[in-house]
């Protein structure tokens, strides 16, 4: 795959809105803010969840959500995906008959923004996933990915208040997705991988969001051996990554990063002294609380 097969479309008028206001000096300004809209997901005839999303790639988001909630299996055959933009509904249809009424009752709220949810039984198969122990990640790849992703056109740079996730291979960013919740962005990538038959071998997963238990669980379920972020960690996220053998790299800004799990995969092939400091506009956003960006 080439670099950035998919990029956020910062010029799509549906994804951000110009809003007039005043700045700290009382001057009138116009700024861009990201949109939020509901998307109700059905699996065959059953309503599953209503998510708040920016509204792009509803088919990928729907499929990825179902995969990461164990409602779609790897061997499931999808017979159709229908999206009604006026009704804000997406319906995923499968060859297999499904009924998740009881499972829906076990839904629990997680720390993810904008309706983040996961199901209590996700952990039942978490310990059965075997990540590629032979996978390696070079620090030169990490620095190259950081620069390419941070400087790519995105809604994050245009309007803030959004999370991004990127599927990468070595030093190449492949699929870049954004949404108001990091869980939505990762689900879109899971859906893209499933529908395009992309194997997790040799892939790296990048997120702008915190490295929480939910992010670790979803990354492991997708079979990806390396998860990196410019943000920080939660203790449970670190514990789960160590249990699963996932390489967990966080607080990656400029020359710095921290590895708290799976250190054996990291090959230090580049002197940090040769790496440029982060550009001012990225460093300024990185210094803000996560809720502000």
Report yes or no on whether pTM surpasses 0.95. Answer: no
Tens-digit pLDDT profile for residues 74-122 = 999 999 999 999 999 999 999 999 988 766 765 544 434 434 445 455 6
175 beta partners: 6, 167
Domain that holds residue 7: 1-293
Is the distance from CB of 248 to CB of 238 less than 8 angstroms?
A: yes
Q: Which residues of the chain fall short of a pLDDT of 50?
A: 108-117, 119, 284-293
| Helix (H) or strand (E) run with residue 33 in it | strand 28-34
pLDDT value for 115? 42
pLDDT value for 140? 97
Residue 170: CATH number of its domain = 3.40.140.10
* R_g over Cα of the chain: 19
pLDDT value for 107? 57
Cα–Cα distance between 127 and 12 in angstroms, integer? 41
pLDDT value for 286? 46
Read off the tokens for 29: 């300004």
pLDDT value for 128? 81
Q: Residue 67 region, left (φ>0) first, then alpha (ψ -120 to 50), else beta?
A: alpha
pLDDT value for 280? 53
| Structural domains of the chain, count | 1
DSSP label of 276: P
Cα–Cα distance between 245 and 239 in angstroms, integer? 10
The phi, psi pair for 42, rounded to 5°, reads: -115, 140
pLDDT value for 282? 52
């Amino acid at each position: 795959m080439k670099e950035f097969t998919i990029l956020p479309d910062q010029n799509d008028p549906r994804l951000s809105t110009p809003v007039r206001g005043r700045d700290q000096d009382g001057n009138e300004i116009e700024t861009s803010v990201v949109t939020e809209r509901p998307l109700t997901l059905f699996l065959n005839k059953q309503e599953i969840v209503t998510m708040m999303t920016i509204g792009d790639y509803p088919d990928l988001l729907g499929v990825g959500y179902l995969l990461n909630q164990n409602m779609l299996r790897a061997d499931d055959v999808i017979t159709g995906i229908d999206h009604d933009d006026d009704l804000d509904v997406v319906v995923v249809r499968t060859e297999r008959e499904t009924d998740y009424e009881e499972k829906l009752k076990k839904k629990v709220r997680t720390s993810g923004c904008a309706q983040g949810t996961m199901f209590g039984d996700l952990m039942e198969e978490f310990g059965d996933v075997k990540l590629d122990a032979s996978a390696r990640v070079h620090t030169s790849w990490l620095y190259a990915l950081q620069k390419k992703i941070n400087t790519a056109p995105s809604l994050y740079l245009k309007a803030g208040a959004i999370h991004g996730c990127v599927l990468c291979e070595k030093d190449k960013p492949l699929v870049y997705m954004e949404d108001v919740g990091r869980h939505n962005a990762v689900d879109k990538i899971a859906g893209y991988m499933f529908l395009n038959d992309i194997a997790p071998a040799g892939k790296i997963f990048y997120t702008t969001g915190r490295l929480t238990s939910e992010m670790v669980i979803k990354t492991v379920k997708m079979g990806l051996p390396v998860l990196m972020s410019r943000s920080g960690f939660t203790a449970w996220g670190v514990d789960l990554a160590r249990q699963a053998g996932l390489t967990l790299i966080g607080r990656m800004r400029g020359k710095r990063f921290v590895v708290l799990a799976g250190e054996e995969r990291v090959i230090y092939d580049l002197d940090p002294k040769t790496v440029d400091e982060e550009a001012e506009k990225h460093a300024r956003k990185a210094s803000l609380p996560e809720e502000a960006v």
